[in-house]
Amino acid sequence: MTRRELWQRFSAHLDLVLLAGIGLLMLASLVTLYSAGEASWSRVFSQLGNIAVAFTLMWLVANMQLHYLMRAAVPIYVLGMLLLIGVALFGDISHGARRWLNIGVATIQPSELMKIAVPLMMAWYFDKYEASLSMKNFAIAALLLLLPVALIARQPDLGTAILIGASGFYVLFLAGLSWRVMLGMAITAAASAPFLWSMLHDYQRHRILMLLDPTKDALGKGYHTIQGMIAVGSGGVLGKGYLNGTQTHLDFLPERTTDFIFAVYSEEFGLIGNLVLLTLYLFVIARGFVITANAPTYFTRLLAGSITLTFFTYAFVNMGMVSGILPVVGVPLPLVSYGGTSMLTLLLGFGMLMSIHTHQKLMKT
Amino acid sequence: MSQRIEIKNHQREIHNFRLRLALCIGFVLLLMTALLARFLYLQVVRHDYFKTLAENNRISVIPIVPNRGLILDRNGVVMAHNYSAYTLEITPSKVFNLDATIEELSSLIDIQPKDRKRFRKLLAENRDFESLPIRNRLSDEEVAKFAAQRYRFPGVEVKARLFREYPYHEGTSHLIGYIGRITKKDSERLDEEELLANYRGSDYIGKAGIEQSYEQELHGLTGVEQIEVDAGGRGVRVLSSSSPQSGNNLILTLDAKLQQIAEQSFGNYRGALVAIDPRNGEVLAFVSKPGYDPNLFIDGIDQQSWDELNNSPDTPLNNRALRGQYPPGSTIKPFMALAGLHYNKRTAGYTISDPGYFNLPGSGHQYRDWKTGGHGSVDLFRSIVISCDTYYYGLSVDLGIDNMHAFLSQFGFGEKTGLDLDGEQPGLLPSQEWKQRRFKQKWYTGDTVSAGIGQGYTLVTPMQLAFATAVLANGGVAYRPHLVREVENVKSGERKPLVTEPAFTVKLNPDHFALVRSAMTAVTLPGGTASAAGAGAPYAIAGKTGTAQVVGIKQGAKYIESQVQERHRDHAWFIAFAPADNPSIALAVLAENGGHGGTIAAPIARKVMDYYLLGKVPTPPALPASGVAPVAPAAVTAPAEEETEND
């Protein structure tokens, strides 16, 4: 096999356009991590390790035939639900929340698995009943969504619950949920807001209140928001320059390699840097939409649409949170924040996108 | 035809889908524009403002930890204080290779394996950007040695810190408790209680005893210092500061000397003692033997010491006074006597003839008196003085368990006393309803008979029994027992008393009370079960002995103390108040495996009362010699009865 053939074999099911966008975002991640980690290589290498593992998984998924994806939907969903119930019953408590399940060899966070499992399951379900979709099917699909969301919200992990809720809602929307029902839901939501408010944990309410006036608790909860906004704002148009962020390097920024990495980036690269980052995200999202529009089946259309929109939601919620227009809910900046689990889930999604795109191509020829 | 419809539907579906997808694209662009607008606002419009703020962030905000309040006894004797010392600390996130650094440090400064183990434990419990001590209490020489080599150890610092010390060591462990390092769990709890901001910079928090239950009083308010820092983060000058507010001092109700005498009076016996001033609920002494040295826990106890404490058969970590639940035995009898009078089941003149056992009608089962052959003719007065079981077997049946439960619960049996320490046990005052709930069984009259002499299901803690005795001593007026008398604001010197009003009042007929009190007084006079302990006292002591069975005795068998394994011997109880006619101290003493109350428990109580009422300090020979195993002293003392009490 020549080198060329080997390359072709390797890249046959990779979408190189999408890959370019992802790669550039990862590059931004490594560059920023070096700065956020006090110019030490340890976080950078560790993140490279995360990328390597996640990339391998993505490649494997991208090479899977679409019907394997479909077949995996139900088992993955059922497994995820069982694990979630396991967490609710026997989970380890950390930071006041029950999110982790100790399975002997390792502790796992089943809500991460659900980020993929929920849209996959719902897309599978709609595809199965495609010929005769009725209101009943939408109700059942909504139930498939609400069960895991409720379990995760109860852990309590509001950030993840909202994100999974959004990813499922996108499937419902793309599957053609009627406008009248959505209007009804919006009215119900508005009416039940006071009730939901009373259901929230104190710390969640506190975080939402803090959003309205973060200065109220500058040493406590508002600290994250204020320091994030200062970092972004003080970056200005051109930024303070690489490795020169004072917020970052004088230890003012909390969680600066994970949830607040955007503040580090924004402080050092300024508005110009932000424009570059937004463009990169839009590029990846646009490519996702192209893949969605050309997807061959109902199942793949719904899945691809949901994955793309969820990716967007991550990016929007994180940047909105750091720049102070959304509450601090603990959502990483996709592909940029340090962390193995979120990298894995994201690239798993992109692997599915690539599989959808490249296998469709093969079908056409 | 049908195929065409399907294709048409399919196309319409694709069309719908693309329409919705287009809406999504619009949604994405809209929100991205909103983000962009936000960036423009922050980075262009308000750039100057945030730039100034970031400049001001060169003004570093440093929390100043307040001094923890002191704990003093009622006379101002220090029971917990702070001292300053140097520690060697490592911030793990700033150190490249932790093991190598520790290895290198140990060539400079003595670091024991025990220090390393403790550091590992701290490392697991804390976040790695926190500064964690590897060695405490450095000598001046060690500080100088390290200072000279400091450049070799980035992330390692010598810090001056305040340390907590408990000068009474084992003597006050169960009472004062201890502080320990704030763990992840603690900070999560503080976060939930919205207290975390006040704990910025704090390393320690109360973990047990008064240190725990009065944490919020003792901790104080954290101050803030604004320091201008250079680009490297080093402080240049102090710009402003709000000083911390020291934690409040706690003035205990405890008398340290009394506590010490009480503690030493136990000799090698395990057990507990609680002494209360019945006039106001102040706890004068609170002993649980054995104790442990709370100083060991402050910076994380090393594994070996922990194992020794945790695996000891003497369970030194168990707070017996507060959490140990034992049958009250005969100490329940004065309360039972009051119940009998209250419900008109007995009068002062009512007399029984005691054959040495009691039968329920129609049953062959013998409930034996502790004295074979019986006490002969016994009235209420004598029933307390000689602790006649037969009298109370009959009385309990006449009263019935419902009346017993109703009357005894007035004295706080079966519920927590509300002492200001965490973790109190409620004891157990059985009732029909309780047995149904707990065992799904109906109540038998036999259960009532056992309960009548404080055996069977009934359980009390030493704290509870002391409280009940205090309520009795004070003629029914109950003050909530408390260990902290006043909270003192260090700055203003202002003192705030904690308990001033009675919690509740038990309605006691004065005649009934007088009768029981005179009988209890006779207990410590010749002919009573605690006459030896009362001998020569210049004040009248109202007391009652008791015995809590550890193992049951078979029907027809006899309990012979010298033949029973030490740890299976009965527990000895003694309750008392003095002076009997105007009591200023009420107490309960428990000596585990101490045989019967008159010989072991009562003399301990006597020493405590002698010091409290007369200022008399026991002479050393009077204290049981330490290091000698307790021996059953049945033959040494000669109570009025020819046989040792064994109810």
Q: Are strands B249-252 and B71-72 parallel, antiparallel or unpaired?
A: parallel
For residue B290, pLDDT beyond 80? yes
The total of other beta-carbon atoms located within 10 Å of residue B142's CB is 17
Phi, psi angles (nearest 5°) of residue B485: -85, -50
Q: Residue B121 — very low, low, confident or very high, per pLDDT cuts 50/70/90?
A: confident
Q: Residue B620 — very low, low, confident or very high, per pLDDT cuts 50/70/90?
A: low
The pLDDT assigned to B63 comes to 78
Asked if B556 and B367 count as a contact pair (C-beta separation under 8 A), the reply is no
Picking from A173, A217, A316, the nearest residue to B31 by CB comes out as: A316
Picking from B31, B47, B224, the nearest residue to A236 by CB comes out as: B47
Residue from B330, B431, B450, B531 carrying the catalytic annotation? B330
Q: Residue B69 — very low, low, confident or very high, per pLDDT cuts 50/70/90?
A: very high
Phi, psi angles (nearest 5°) of residue B68: -75, 140
Find all residues with CB under 8 Å of A15, minimum gap 6, and list them. Answer: A62, A287, A291, A353, A354, A357, A358
For residue B555, pLDDT beyond 80? no
Asked if B53 has any chain A CB less than 8 Å from its own CB, the reply is yes
B401-409 helix and B333-342 helix, angle to the nearest 10 degrees: 110
Which residues on adjacent β-strands are paired with residue B221? B245
Picking from B35, B54, B60, the nearest residue to A316 by CB comes out as: B35
Q: What is the pLDDT of residues B312-346, one digit of tens each?
A: 888 999 999 999 999 999 999 999 999 999 999 99
Q: Residue A94 — very low, low, confident or very high, per pLDDT cuts 50/70/90?
A: low
Instruction: State the DSSP code for B326.
Output: B
CB A230 to CB B38 under 8 A?
no
For residue A116, pLDDT beyond 70? yes
Which residues of chain A have a CB within 8 Å of the CB of B35?
A: 278, 316, 319-320, 323, 325
Percent of residues, chain B, with pLDDT higher than 90? 49
Which residues of chain A have a CB within 8 Å of the CB of B13?
A: 176, 298
Asked if B143 and B87 count as a contact pair (C-beta separation under 8 A), the reply is no
Q: What is the pLDDT of residues B499-544, one digit of tens each?
A: 778 889 999 899 999 999 999 999 999 989 999 888 889 999 999 9
CA-based nearest residue in chain A for residue B192: A203
Asked if B229 has any chain A CB less than 8 Å from its own CB, the reply is yes
CB B49 to CB A176 under 8 A?
no
- Respond yes or no: is residue B139 known to be catalytic: no
Q: What is the average pLDDT value for chain B, to the nearest integer?
A: 85
Asked if B449 and B360 count as a contact pair (C-beta separation under 8 A), the reply is yes
The total of other beta-carbon atoms located within 10 Å of residue B614's CB is 11
CB A274 to CB B39 under 8 A?
yes
Q: What is the pLDDT of residues B377-410, one digit of tens each?
A: 999 999 999 999 999 999 999 999 999 999 999 9
Q: Which one, of B601, B384, B355, lies nearest residue B472 by Cα?
A: B384
pTM of the model: 0.60
The pLDDT assigned to A365 comes to 39
Residue A316 tokens read as: 């929007």
For residue B251, pLDDT beyond 90? yes
Picking from B31, B39, B54, the nearest residue to A230 by CB comes out as: B54
For residue B12, pLDDT beyond 90? no
Residue B107 tokens read as: 């060539």
Find all residues with CB under 8 Å of A133, minimum gap 6, and list them. Answer: A126, A175, A176
Picking from A230, A236, A309, the nearest residue to B57 by CB comes out as: A230
> How many contacts, defined by CB atoms under 8 Å, are there between A and B?
125
Q: Residue B579 — very low, low, confident or very high, per pLDDT cuts 50/70/90?
A: very high
For residue B269, pLDDT beyond 80? yes
The pLDDT assigned to B623 comes to 44
Question: Best residue in B21, B33, B40 to probe A by mutation, most A CBs within 10 Å?
Answer: B21
Which residues of chain A have a CB within 8 Å of the CB of B5?
A: none
For residue A276, pLDDT beyond 60? yes
The C-alpha of A61 sits at a distance from chain B's nearest C-alpha, in angstroms, of: 25
Picking from B24, B43, B197, the nearest residue to A271 by CB comes out as: B43
Residue B521 tokens read as: 């007084």
The pLDDT assigned to B126 comes to 66
Find all residues with CB under 8 Å of A260, minimum gap 6, and list them. Answer: A224, A227, A228, A253, A254, A322
Asked if B535 has any chain A CB less than 8 Å from its own CB, the reply is no
d(CA B83, CA B163): 5
Residue B250 tokens read as: 């706690």
CA-based nearest residue in chain A for residue B6: A131
Asked if B7 has any chain A CB less than 8 Å from its own CB, the reply is no
Which residues of chain A have a CB within 8 Å of the CB of B38?
A: 320, 323-325
For residue A216, pLDDT beyond 70? no
A261-293 helix and A340-364 helix, angle to the nearest 10 degrees: 20
d(CA A197, CA B487): 39
Percent of residues, chain A, with pLDDT higher than 70? 86
CB A289 to CB B25 under 8 A?
yes
Residue B371 tokens read as: 């004295």
More confident residue, B263 or B64: B263
Q: Which one, of A149, A152, A34, A56, lies nearest residue A98 by Cα?
A: A152
Phi, psi angles (nearest 5°) of residue B299: -105, 30
Residue B445 tokens read as: 């009259």
Question: Best residue in A230, A251, A314 to probe B by mutation, most B CBs within 10 Å?
Answer: A230
Q: What is the pLDDT of residues B123-155, one digit of tens each?
A: 876 666 667 888 888 888 889 888 888 888 888
The pLDDT assigned to A76 comes to 92
For residue B292, pLDDT beyond 60? yes
Q: What is the pLDDT of residues B426-465, one digit of tens each?
A: 999 999 999 999 999 899 998 999 999 999 899 999 999 9
CB B24 to CB A293 under 8 A?
no
CB B28 to CB A220 under 8 A?
no
Task: Give all strands (DSSP E) within B20-93, no chain letters.
Answer: 59-64, 71-72, 78-90
Distance of CA B483 to the CA centre of its chain: 11
For residue B36, pLDDT beyond 90? yes
Which residues of chain B have a CB within 8 Å of the CB of A271?
A: 39-40, 43-44
Which residues of chain B have a CB within 8 Å of the CB of A241?
A: none
The C-alpha of B39 sits at a distance from chain A's nearest C-alpha, in angstroms, of: 7
The C-alpha of A139 sits at a distance from chain B's nearest C-alpha, in angstroms, of: 19
The pLDDT assigned to A355 comes to 93
Interface of B with A in 172-191 (CB under 8 A): 184, 188, 191
CA-based nearest residue in chain A for residue B63: A219
Asked if B242 has any chain A CB less than 8 Å from its own CB, the reply is no
Asked if B318 and B310 count as a contact pair (C-beta separation under 8 A), the reply is no
Which residues of chain B have a CB within 8 Å of the CB of A323?
A: 35, 38-39, 42
DSSP assignment string, B285-324:
EEEEES---GGGGTT---HHHHHHHHH-TT-TTS-HHHH-
CB B58 to CB A231 under 8 A?
no
Asked if B21 has any chain A CB less than 8 Å from its own CB, the reply is yes
Which residues of chain B have a CB within 8 Å of the CB of A129?
A: none
Sheet holding B235-242, edge to edge: B59-64, B223-229, B235-242
Structure-derived torsion over alpha carbons of residues A93, A94, A100, A103, reported in degrees to the nearest 10:
-70
CB B197 to CB A219 under 8 A?
yes
For residue B253, pLDDT beyond 80? yes
Residue A353 tokens read as: 């996108």
CB A219 to CB B192 under 8 A?
no
Picking from B35, B46, B192, the nearest residue to A320 by CB comes out as: B35
The pLDDT assigned to B490 comes to 87
Residues, chain B: 647
d(CA A309, CA A334): 12
For residue B290, whether the previous peptide bond is cis, meaning omega lies within 30 degrees of 0, is: yes
Q: What is the pLDDT of residues A147-192, one digit of tens each?
A: 999 998 888 787 889 899 999 999 999 998 888 888 998 898 888 8
The pLDDT assigned to B136 comes to 85
The C-alpha of A17 sits at a distance from chain B's nearest C-alpha, in angstroms, of: 19
Least confident of A84-88, B181-185, B563-567: B563-567
The pLDDT assigned to B364 comes to 77
Percent of residues, chain B, with pLDDT higher than 70? 88
3-state secondary structure of B541: coil
CB A246 to CB B54 under 8 A?
yes
Asked if B45 has any chain A CB less than 8 Å from its own CB, the reply is no
The C-alpha of A302 sits at a distance from chain B's nearest C-alpha, in angstroms, of: 9
CB B51 to CB A236 under 8 A?
yes
